[in-house]
Structure 1
């Protein structure tokens, strides 16, 4: 006699923890901040000189912190090493193990070339670290051609990082919220708004508020692009044009939690747009809201996307706990970012009076 068993629900702990949210958040901000450094440091646009310096600082702080979150998400460094020992070039994640070092090494080289004249000036001042600054400056020559070459290499790495970080999530067909061609574009757009937000926050911390109108203008453009992509995803799902989006919306139907989350996302995005347009001389609030939006998108995609059932009707909820994989990890990464900011700003001046 044959027996039929119907599976009504299947729940498990999320495989991608808040470490993944932090990595994608930080690496996205770093790449976006790097692109913001180009007008002032590569193209030497006078209006962007100060902004680009703080953007480079943001790129370094977030870029050097992001790999820590990635290694923590892999739970042991050996797993990252396996990408090189046994490469699988059919996997976007495996390609990412090559794109990340390309971007980070390029960023460090680009930053060093941009900062060499400044390091040479610091070396002329009496102090116990003058010899170290002199060695780091390595002559201290401003070489625009070398800076442009390093910027080109870093830009290639940044584009590849943005591409792989969206594609490796998009290709997971088992997760309906992830499996959309719009996801890499949404990640890229929110990375740009987050990068603008982090740069604006550093501008506020250094007291350079004259850059607020320029940054808010670009923030408005980034928010409009983000809203357009979110609305397009919603239209594709409601119309049934995208099967994955329709499935995700179907799984969310009737859930007060998802309704509140969607309202919070749209409401905070509109508030960011309103503040950036109507308070163009403000830095802190638009910056914090931009960073909040970039984080929220990734939290919804990763943590919320794993709560949608693969089969049946079970929707496992995730709760933050006081563990290293959860809330303590988030606080720890924020502390690491703060520590790197303090170290870099203590060793190198980043204000407008410093020579680029």
Structure 2
């Protein structure tokens, strides 16, 4: 029943997304609500969200395929499948945000590796190849001696890419709310939180219930998620308290927009209430050992993380870098107010729907929760 509901929700999202994609490709950015001042919108936040799940999922896959923890044996494939599904979704989101998508070849043939963005493009390309190769090697009948070295490289790259997104924001010196020294250090924690939430969904909703480790896996992942949410809450408190205490014009204004402005309802209701407090309450009770409840808390955490990405991007860009800039020029795309347009939401629904269908198909049709019995030798 649960799988059927996910299939239906995914296909509905995909149908809505088809209209959004038609509008995007026919009319370009005309019907998007970002413009010359607010240059990043919903799709950039969506890219950060899905890329975080992909790198976090790979980190969780190493518990099985690299470190061989007995408790998580057999969970590596589903984690890699989650990375394989979500990374293209994130890249599709950022690709649609580009004004000239056909120029992407320049970053490969004419790269400037001093640019953080170029480093991320190359890094994600290599990372996607590593995910595909790792998943293929994990399906081989005999263990491969190449799997662990590749997983080591992938783990290092996953951490690098996680911090790279924070660095991409942090190098913007004119955006005080982004120009925080520990921002690159925060994102690996955020992405690991995404990975644990994904695994709660995978094991809670699709894992083999008859496996004697099933309840224990949910128990450990639930407690791990509690710890990560507390760490994430600490980071949030340090960012908010420092910005408000220093009365930094741009930083304090951005924080006030999140706490008490037009983004306040999403912050308090979705990011804090549904995405943090509710999972903290549920996952510290015996209910965390229930597969459906654990998976539902994973969904809540992911929703909160998605809103958190938007609350990082939107407020910082809706504040003028120069006072009076908003009044100096006027035009259809010269505005500092931003809320996603219907077309942007439709494309987002399509990307989320496609990712949902892809993940459920893998969990439903592929042997992602089984591992071959180790033999004395290893295959080349």
* TM-score between the two structures when normalised by the length of structure 1: 0.80
5 Å-filtered alignment, 1:85-100, equals 85-100=109-124
- State the alpha-carbon separation in 2 of the partners of residues 293 and 340 from structure 1: 22
- State the alpha-carbon separation in 2 of the partners of residues 78 and 52 from structure 1: 35
- State the alpha-carbon separation in 1 of the partners of residues 149 and 55 from structure 2: 17
Task: Check 1:321–1:242 CA distance in 2 against 1; reply closer, same or farther (3 A cut).
Answer: closer
Deviations 1:232-263 (A, max 9, x none): 112222332977634534x6499543444443
RMSD: 2.7
Task: Work out whether 1:179 is the aligned partner of 2:187.
Answer: no
1:280 aligns with one of 261, 268, 288: 288
Q: What is the total number of aligned residue pairs between the two structures? A: 319
Structure 1 unmatched ranges of 5 or more: 1-10, 118-140
Task: Check 1:343–1:256 CA distance in 2 against 1; reply closer, same or farther (3 A cut).
Answer: closer
Task: Check 1:223–1:236 CA distance in 2 against 1; reply closer, same or farther (3 A cut).
Answer: same
Q: Once structures 1 and 2 are overlaid, which stretch shifts more, 236-245 or 211-220?
A: 236-245
- State the alpha-carbon separation in 1 of the partners of residues 93 and 82 from structure 2: 17
1:245 aligns with one of 221, 233, 251: 251
Deviations 1:194-244 (A, max 9, x none): 211122112233144523111101101110110111111122223329776
Task: Check 1:343–1:76 CA distance in 2 against 1; reply closer, same or farther (3 A cut).
Answer: farther
1:257 aligns with one of 257, 262, 266: 262
Structure 2 unmatched ranges of 5 or more: 1-34, 209-213, 327-334, 375-380
Could you tell me which residue of structure 2 aligns to residue 226 of structure 1? 232
- State the alpha-carbon separation in 2 of the partners of residues 33 and 77 from structure 1: 27
5 Å-filtered alignment, 1:1-356, equals 12=36, 14-117=38-141, 141-143=142-144, 145-208=145-208, 210=215, 211-240=217-246, 245-246=251-252, 248-249=254-255, 252=257, 255-264=260-269, 265-268=271-274, 269-278=276-285, 279-281=287-289, 282-312=293-323, 316-323=336-343, 326-345=344-363, 348-352=366-370
- State the alpha-carbon separation in 2 of the partners of residues 34 and 284 from structure 1: 19
Task: Check 1:247–1:88 CA distance in 2 against 1; reply closer, same or farther (3 A cut).
Answer: farther
Which fold has the larger relative contact order, with Cα–Cα distance below 8 Å and residues 6 or more apart in sequence?
2
- State the alpha-carbon separation in 2 of the partners of residues 204 and 61 from structure 1: 19
Does the residue aligned with 2:336 lie in a helix, a strand or coil?
A: coil
